[in-house]
Structure 1
Amino acid sequence: MAAPAFEEFDPVSDCDCPGCVLQRRMSPRPQSGHPCGHPAARGVVVVAVASAALGAVPPAAALTAGQSPHRQAVPGDGEPGTPQGAKAPLHGPVAKPAEPATVRIPSTTRTDIINRAKTWVAAQVPYSMYAYWPDGYRQDCSGYVSMAWGLPGNEWTGSLDQYGVKITKEELQPGDILLYHNPDDPERGSHVVIFGGWTDYTHTYYTAYEQTPPRTRRQITPYAYWSHSGAYVPYRYKGVAPVTAGAEPAAAGKTTAAFPGAAYFGRGADNTYVTQLGRMLVARGGDSYYTKGPGPVWGEADRRATLAFQQAQGWTGADADGLPGPGTWRLLATGRGKDIRSAKAGPALPASHGVPGYPGRNWFRPGATNDYITRLGAQLVKKGFGRFYSIGPGPHWGEADRRAVEAFQRSQGWRGGAADGYPGPETWRRLFT
């Protein structure tokens, strides 16, 4: 599949979408109306696929009003076409709004940004560069970010930057965005996605929230994007509340940061708050869960230590799920609550075939995505089999993992079915012994 090129332009007098161009080419006389059902307007954005000529579009192809006049991307194909509308007030332009003298920056939190982004994912909001969702925001990529950031109106990729500040890849945190817009050459395209957190320790994949045909999606995405990766720029919203807001006194009379939000913890999380949580858990009796000390990458040790602390408080059910909430964080940060007791150490690491930590062969299959694959890959690299990884081990099982495992098995003198590239209990034991 040829990668789409995002094109932005302002039509001079008539619509230039593929449907209108096709009709004008096929008609002996100029058409007075627009066969695709939308008026000519400034800020229309269309996408052209480089490998397809407009004349090759079947005459029977129908374009529905309110939908983008181009290829509808297949969910998960990694190459969505995302044209967008121009700047507009909430619920759409009745008349062209006057440009404000200053940009208003509403305050929000990272948790609120991610939670708002999730509402469109749950609602499966259809993609459209003309329609507006009941909350007032346009149903395209820039309208989606405008909604998640809580902006007073609908922006586009050419104006979102004034609401943010440029940051580096290393500074990315949930709620930031990756923006693709080139003001010097707007016809080269635009798109914007919301950063939801890293999914692997090599920072080569992240969770992206984006509005793309046919509907809003949350998907693990290679950094910075599937196509035009080098053109995406990380931005942080100017109105995001500082983490220290709402700090409360600790037991020793010092102040501590408030709970940063659930988005910072769980599978794929990689940030300083995971390290901070681990250190607080160790101080409260959770050191036995960490074999090499707390780190920035969320792992099974963090979940088990958090669970043990929650159980020490007498919590059960949803209150003891191994993920820190505001209540768990407050007790840890202020030194209150009960410490972890050895009797509440919780379940041991999974063991299969008598090998500690081995989860079973079903975790290592084509299409599998889990933390065990990342752990396996990291150990293979440590053992000297990292040459098979072009971008580093990650949570998605791939051919690089299979070949690395096979090479390790052959190094043990195994042949045939014993060196099939899939880790069994003996492969796991030798790798981690």
Structure 2
Amino acid sequence: MRTTAASVLAAVLVLCGLLQPIPRLANAEPDLQSAGHPAADLKLTREDILTRAKSWIDERVPYSQDAKHTNQYGTYRQDCSGYVSMAWGLKTARWTGDIMQVATRIDKKNLLPGDSLWVHSSAHQHMALFIRWADAAKTQAVVWEEYRSGTVASQRTWSAERTAGFTAIRYRNVVEGDAKTCAAVSLDHPRYPELAPAATGDLVKAAQCLLTGAGFPTGANGPTGTFDATTAEAAKQFQASVGLPSLGKVDSHTWTALLARGTTPQVQDGASGDAVLRLQRALNAALDAGLEHDGRFGPNTTAAVKRYQSAQGLTSDGIVGAKTWAALQAGK
């Protein structure tokens, strides 16, 4: 009877999302690259996080550890951690066992909307988005969550006892402040086609943010996604600053120079980090290389570097040093 009772309890916990099969979720496959799915973990304001999270509540997405839901924000697993991963704009859906790779612990008294309440132990595994406190004493949390089988994404108020059993965590890429910033604009795109005045869309936002970051503002209202006269003038000024023709449009040379901006450490096979990510973007702009924007310098990146170096008359060794960076940052 004890064995039977334990089995029943375990089954209930799995259904509730409180006990997840560790081997299956620990190696969760990357999510489908659907329209709108991030190519890299996004930097989001709290407003952005809540807007994304509310989409599943409005769509009444049912809980499931196996199914995935797709909307304008991408494709994610329909359980508690998949829901938080979607709200936080993660490239790959995390689970309770590895969510701390993108989050940090905070004091519960410092919880803000869009943070998370999380627990991961052998008996209890769950997480939810914190929305607000239900009481002045800050003991009862109001959360948005995917809870268990038979329910849909919804708002719930936790008891003080339940709230006490969770740890407060914060997404490392959350950006505090006005949503009219470049914080939530992705610079990662499969291709970087030419942009001319009157163009619109996410690529225009990316170009506007890159131009602003280079010291050539494109307007007081942040990235509008419309290639207007101010953006054209900013492009001309940037082009002149790096020795490119002042065309007033963003061509492959301008994209390459903008995307390569930043520090110029020597990087080669085995390297990783922001410099490699900038390199991959710039090579995709310069060569249409088709590199994944993962910040990891592997065989494909090495091959693209050699191809670029050869085209520029540089030593084709696959090592990105001062000369290769200089060529990229000049838009060659």
Which TM-score applies when normalising by structure 2? 0.44
Structure with higher RCO (Cα < 8 A, 6+ apart): 2
Higher helix share: 2
Q: Please tell me whether Structure 1 or Structure 2 has the larger radius of gyration of its CA atoms.
A: 1
